[in-house]
Structure 1
Amino acid sequence: MKLGMLTACLPTWPLERVAAWAADTGYERLEVAVWPGTGGRDFEAAHIDVARFDAAEHDRVQGLLRETGLEISALAYYENNLHPDPGRRAEIRAHLKHAVDAARALGVPYVGTFIGRDPSLSVPDNQREAERVLPELVDYAGERGVRLVIENCVMEGWHPDGHPGNIAYSPELWEWMFSLGLYLNWDPSHLMWLGIDPLATIAPYADRIAHAQAKDIELDPVARNRYGFFGTTAKNGDPWATGWWRYRVPGRGQVDWARVVDRLYETGFTGTLSVEHEDPLWGGTPEKVCQGLTIAHRTLRPLVVA
């Protein structure tokens, strides 16, 4: 197992600066964000230009890896592959293929994304649509020696009522998506607010957990008693507001990281545990983000055998 970090939390820094800081801090791998850089979410970083990935970009990235001693665990492009707008869906599909092509050129084994959802349709109807459109993407990646890994993020902000906007949120649905040739980028934080024990989901699906993300969560059961499971309706313009939980960096929430890492080792996981920083207390500026990433590193480094 190697300790890595997702670069999306530092969207204003170039990859050179992110990599230098990560290597100096003691991280071993980068999960590199490859959004086009035109999205609306503040974590949509474009640290590799996969849409115009040429020999110069290839040499830039490979030289940076040699210089820092880092490896790339995955390229990250987490978008809605079932977007209800056909034009937007086509854009996402094309960019995901660019990410796969860049991963192949760089020798990166995984590209991370979401299944997504059309919020106007039921989960079963979305499954049928996914069965129609996703196998071609799986084949495209497989023919290039790359696997698509799906994060089990609920993406509740993509649904007007805070319901799941990414239909990969439960082990029941993982089993379905595995049948399509997809793999899992396992994240315990999403499971905890859904009421699913993260530890119970590792061993049964160990052969499909290709990558893992380290994000913590802080739950407030008293607030949940007021708002209910799907969170507050008074979102004040923030579709992600729930009112009863928030993401934290590892070591500042309620995930038992010693047991999580131990269970990953027990089941033979040899991939990357990648810190995904979305902690509002340690955000807002690159300096605070780096402090949060340092807290995460200090929490996890003693647990992950160097």
Structure 2
Amino acid sequence: MKLGVFTVLFSQKPFEEMLDYVKDAGVEAVEIGTGGYPGSAHCNPDELLEDAGKLKAFKKAVADRGLVISALSCHGNPLNPNKEHAKASHDILMKTVRLAEKLEVPVVNTFSGTPGDHEGARYPNWPVAPWPPEYREVLKWQWEEKIIPYWKEAGKFAEEHHVKIGLELHGGFSVHTPATLLKLREAVGEVIGANLDPSHMWWQGIEPVGAIKILGKEGAIHHFHAKDTVIDQDNVNMYGLTDMQSYENLQSRAWQFRTVGFGHSLKEWADILSALRLSGYDYVVSIEHEDALMSIDEGFRKAVANLKQVMPSESLSEMWWV
């Protein structure tokens, strides 16, 4: 496995300065934002697609430092009933797929999106309960009329450009659990897989090792984020796991994101990484920092240090003891 970082946390640094910084910190791979929610501070898809010289220089800057690009990321909502938002998310996804092919990057990460509840809807609707029965009707309509048709076309486009789609299993979006990911994958094909982030499993009550076993059995893990979550049971008792408070309400929130090792023990992280390797995933573990209790630099460096203690990085050897 290679240790990487989702570089949007260093958006304030110029591209090559950022590469030098993360290389010095000990990572081997970078995941780069191309637009949508992550922004495009280090990568302008229009510019790189239109200018072969700039594309070559971009690739060289990464390669000269001994780094690889694990994924391009353009998280958005192409199913949003707000047509302007949906079009922007769709357009950047298509451009990112084309750019990934040119850069020889195998994975594009994004969200599945969330539709509205009917053709005239103004806002996305995320049904999470089977009763009253109208929620099931909304969910059925969303999958049959919006989610599957959209991703069949988008998946076909990605396949034509030799790129896989890594959907982040994130609350608020239609694909947010192993079951919903596999449902879409069954309808669309193996081009669809997970950008699996344990932090979003924990707050949904899903054990990451269990999720890895489920998805790994199907070869459905295309990319992996390293981010932790801490759950405050007293606050869960008040607000539940679907806590709608701002992430800024640190003292009262039911859960919040933490740097690797500050929500769950390194033993649990060792189990996660071992499960990944056992499932056949031997690609990049990409650090994502969203810890409000640590600075960007400190949170990132502590995540690097903690993961280096437990992450297998060498190729498997023969079982000499067998």
2:198 to 188, 191, 215: 188
- Letter of the 1:44 counterpart: G
- What percentage of residue pairs aligned between the two structures are identical? 28
Q: What's the RMSD between the two structures over aligned residues?
A: 2.1
1:226 to 208, 223, 238: 238
- Give the 3 Å change call, closer, same or farther, for CA 243–175 of structure 1 in structure 2: same
- CA deviations on 1:151-178 (whole Å, 9 max, x unpaired) are 1111xxxxxxxxxx21111122111121
Distance 1:296 1:113 in 2: 23
Contact 1:275 1:293 in 2 (8 A): yes
- Give the 3 Å change call, closer, same or farther, for CA 105–130 of structure 1 in structure 2: same
Distance 2:154 2:299 in 1: 35
- Give the 3 Å change call, closer, same or farther, for CA 59–269 of structure 1 in structure 2: same
Distance 2:250 2:256 in 1: 10
**Which residue does 2:134 correspond to in 1?**
none
List alignment gaps of at least 5 residues for structure 1.
Answer: 155-164, 283-287
**SS class of match (2:64):** helix
**Which residue does 1:280 correspond to in 2?**
292
The 5 A counterparts of 1:195-234 are: 195-206=205-216, 207-232=219-244
1:123 to 97, 114, 139: 139
**Which residue does 1:245 correspond to in 2?**
255
Distance 2:139 2:305 in 1: 40
- Give the 3 Å change call, closer, same or farther, for CA 232–136 of structure 1 in structure 2: closer
- Give the 3 Å change call, closer, same or farther, for CA 240–205 of structure 1 in structure 2: farther
- CA deviations on 1:242-301 (whole Å, 9 max, x unpaired) are 81111011011126211101111222211111011111112xxxxx31221100000001
Q: CA deviation at 1:16?
A: 1.0
**Which residue does 2:282 correspond to in 1?**
270
- Give the 3 Å change call, closer, same or farther, for CA 229–304 of structure 1 in structure 2: closer
**Which residue does 2:170 correspond to in 1?**
153
Q: Which runs of 4+ in 1 moved over 6 A?
A: 238-242
Q: CA deviation at 1:241?
A: 11
- Letter of the 1:213 counterpart: H
Contact 2:241 2:255 in 1 (8 A): no
The alignment status of 1:81 with 2:78, answered yes or no, reads yes
Distance 1:95 1:261 in 2: 31
1:99 to 84, 96, 99: 96
1:44 to 34, 39, 52: 39
Contact 2:195 2:222 in 1 (8 A): yes
- CA deviations on 1:43-101 (whole Å, 9 max, x unpaired) are 53431111222213212211211221100000011111211112321121111111111
Contact 1:49 1:57 in 2 (8 A): no
**Which residue does 1:32 correspond to in 2?**
32
- Give the 3 Å change call, closer, same or farther, for CA 218–104 of structure 1 in structure 2: same
- CA deviations on 1:97-137 (whole Å, 9 max, x unpaired) are 11111111110001001011022473332222111212111
Distance 1:203 1:178 in 2: 16
Contact 2:258 2:292 in 1 (8 A): yes
Distance 1:175 1:241 in 2: 36
Aligned length: 284
Distance 1:239 1:176 in 2: 35
- Letter of the 1:298 counterpart: A
Q: CA deviation at 1:240?
A: 11
- Give the 3 Å change call, closer, same or farther, for CA 133–242 of structure 1 in structure 2: farther
- Give the 3 Å change call, closer, same or farther, for CA 241–151 of structure 1 in structure 2: farther
**SS class of match (2:39):** coil
Q: CA deviation at 1:217?
A: 0.5
Q: CA deviation at 1:14?
A: 2.0
**SS class of match (1:301):** helix
Distance 1:18 1:109 in 2: 22
List alignment gaps of at least 5 residues for structure 2.
Answer: 116-123, 127-137, 314-322
2:64 to 48, 62, 67: 67
Larger Cα Rg: Structure 1 or Structure 2?
2
**Which residue does 1:173 correspond to in 2?**
180
Instruction: Indicate the larger mover: 112-121 or 189-198.
Output: 112-121
TM-score (norm 1): 0.87
Instruction: Indicate the larger mover: 296-305 or 116-125.
Output: 116-125
Q: CA deviation at 1:232?
A: 4.8
